[in-house]
Amino acid sequence: MTFVRSEKLPGGKSPDSFGEFIPDLAVEVLYPYDSLKEVGRKIGEFLECSVPLVWLVDPAHQTVTVYRSLSDTAQYSAQDVITAEPALPGFSCPVSQFFR
């Protein structure tokens, strides 16, 4: 899943077809059958394409790993509150809400 701020969209509206926009946020959900190598490749591709914020959501461990680059990462557990700055100014949410 990806998120693109409305300021990037022509007229602030979603296009009828897929746009060619760099997302502000990409979210990848880790499933038990996913290959860690493949998930790592996807995260790397997002970052190489200048996506500023990538979240890897792991339901099995109830964690969210935030990537701003391959060397700038942080992991949040269910007890933590996550933000999405600068992609979603003012957004914050308890990580536990992702797993209800």
How deeply is 53 buried, as exposed, middle or buried, from its count of CB atoms within 10 A (0-12, 13-18, 19+)? buried
pLDDT, residue 10, reads 64
Which domains are present in the chain?
Answer: 2-7+21-99 (3.90.1570.10)
pLDDT at 42: 94
User: What's the average pLDDT block by block, 10 residues per block, for the chain (100 residues)?
Assistant: 74 62 90 92 94 95 95 96 91 94
Q: How far apart are the first and last CA of the chain?
A: 19
